[in-house]
Amino acid sequence: MNSFIVSLGSLAPLMAPAPGAEPANPMLNFLPLIAIVAIFYFLILRPQSKKQKETQKMLAALKKGDKVVTIGGIHGVVQSLRDQTVIVKVDSNLKLEFNRGAINNITGSVKDDRVEKKIESQVDDEDDDNDEDADNE
């Protein structure tokens, strides 16, 4: 480690400007620091703030009947909403109260599931009818 520092110290005279040459612009010394700050902003800070805004929109759009997953991994349906809390129905007789911030994402709504089940049952009925027609022939 000390030999590395010594070798860097021996490079200092080589990096010094030649006698009679113009000194380098001091702003060029700050250019790498400015580039690092810009990269940090665009790769870390900006995406994080976008994600935070999306999460706030999602929590504001939360409504009764939405299927949700909490940050702890509990799946349930929103039963009722309050200013800072949400009551989630986990089972037929189990309701849990969470802070709004504990909701990780919305996976759908109960109404969507009913529509999907209705469509699936219609498709199954049509398939059954087609199978019966093929059997009769």
pLDDT of residue 8: 53
Strand bridging mode 75-81 / 66-70: antiparallel
pLDDT of residue 108: 85
Is 118 or 68 the better-scoring residue by pLDDT?
68
**pLDDT confidence band for 1 (50 / 70 / 90):** low
Please give the average per-residue pLDDT across 56-69, as a whole number. 92
Among 6-15, 42-51, 54-63, 71-80, which is the least confidently predicted range?
6-15
